[in-house]
Amino acid sequence: MKLLFISAVDKAEAWREAMLNELPELEFRVWPDEAEPRDDVDYALVWRPPHGLLKTYPNLKAILSLGAGIDGIVCDPELPRHLPIVRLVDHCLTDGMSEYVIYWVLHYHRHMGKYSRMVADGKWSNLPQHDTRLRRVGILGLGELGGNAARKLAALGFDVAGWSRSEKDIQGVTSFTGRDALKLFLARTEILVCLLPLTDKTAGIINAETIAQLPHGAFVINSARGGHVVDAELLAALNSGHLAGATLDVFHNEPPPPDHPFWSHPKVAVTPHMASLTVPHYAAEYIAMNIRRITAGEVPLNVVDLDKGY
């Protein structure tokens, strides 16, 4: 059984160890492997593979994603669409993302940025403390990651709502669905978190029009994909004062160019696409479970629906 790893070469050894630990019989190959035959590779384990590459492996049984988001795979115009593409779902990735979201929600809710600046200036005073139960957090996307963050924020006492393609039943979380409800969802949201998959329906969803529907003084946290945000329109809303702050973990180009205003904007917190990192040890368990399912003739878990785009 052969698996081809198509990602940053410096990560290959950690993945080899983790995968062989789960599946000792696996032959783990690392791309680029130009001299090797291509017709004996069964699985491709990938993060943003070069366009046109996957179709040159004629006997693949599945494309296994190294990330939760698969936009970097399905954007390949020559993608072998008949193959199952399997999303990565693992508790480490999910918990890590919820921690990131909770950290920044609390940061804004408790004015931590303002306090840091005050203390740096030698000022000792207090800001009003908001009632958690009245603090309205809104999560765009209630899938594996958004659903977990929503549940945990609700457990902390926040007034949480989510907007998703299909209605979700999560305890303590108000569910909004469909384009018409987006307006209502935004109007009640003081801290907006984006955890949507990036598809042609969600690209640019954080734009001048949707931002204007948020209440004055709202915050935006984007840990999904840079493509969800229209940068210039987000900046305009921060500069006009309509938005009080934004935390961005993902960007159109990563890293953003050195002269991009996000780097130094006083209302923007930039993190280097670290909201949740895949830990090979845990992810390998899940990936191996899906390989075993495929070997046994079963359908793998979390197969991407190419019509939905996630």
Residues of the shown chain interacting with ligand GLV in the complex, contacts defined by CB under 6 A = 67-69
- The whole-angstrom separation of Cα 149 and Cα 164 is 14
- φ/ψ of 110, rounded to 5, equals -100, 15
**Annotation says 111 is catalytic:** no
CA 51 to chain centre: 21
- Among candidate residues 48, 87, 225, 228, the one labeled active-site is 225
CB of 87 to ligand GLV, least distance (A): 9
User: Among residues 110, 188, 260, 273, which one is catalytic?
Assistant: 273
Please give the sequence-ordered ranges of beta strands (E in DSSP) within 205-307, or none if there are none.
218-222, 243-248, 268-270
Residue nearest to ligand GLV (CB): 67
Q: Tell me how far the alpha carbon of residue 55 is from its chain's centroid.
A: 26
Closer Cβ to ligand GLV, 69 or 138, answer by number? 69
Helix (H) or strand (E) holding 116: helix 112-120
Closest distance to ligand GLV from the beta carbon of 72 (Å): 8
Q: What do you get for the CA distance between the two ends of the chain, in Å?
A: 27
Cβ 67 to ligand GLV shortest distance, Å: 3
For 120, the enclosing helix (H) or strand (E) is helix 112-120
- Shortest CB 88 distance to ligand GLV, Å: 6
Task: Tell me whether residue 232 or residue 306 sits nearer to ligand GLV (CB atom).
Answer: 306
* Beta bridge mates, 245: 219
What 3-state DSSP class applies to 269?
Answer: strand
Catalytic residue status for 273: yes
**Distance (Å, rounded) from C-alpha 292 to C-alpha 279?**
20
- Phi and psi torsions of 183, nearest 5°: -60, -45
CB of 4 to ligand GLV, least distance (A): 19
Mind telling me the catalytic residues? 225, 273
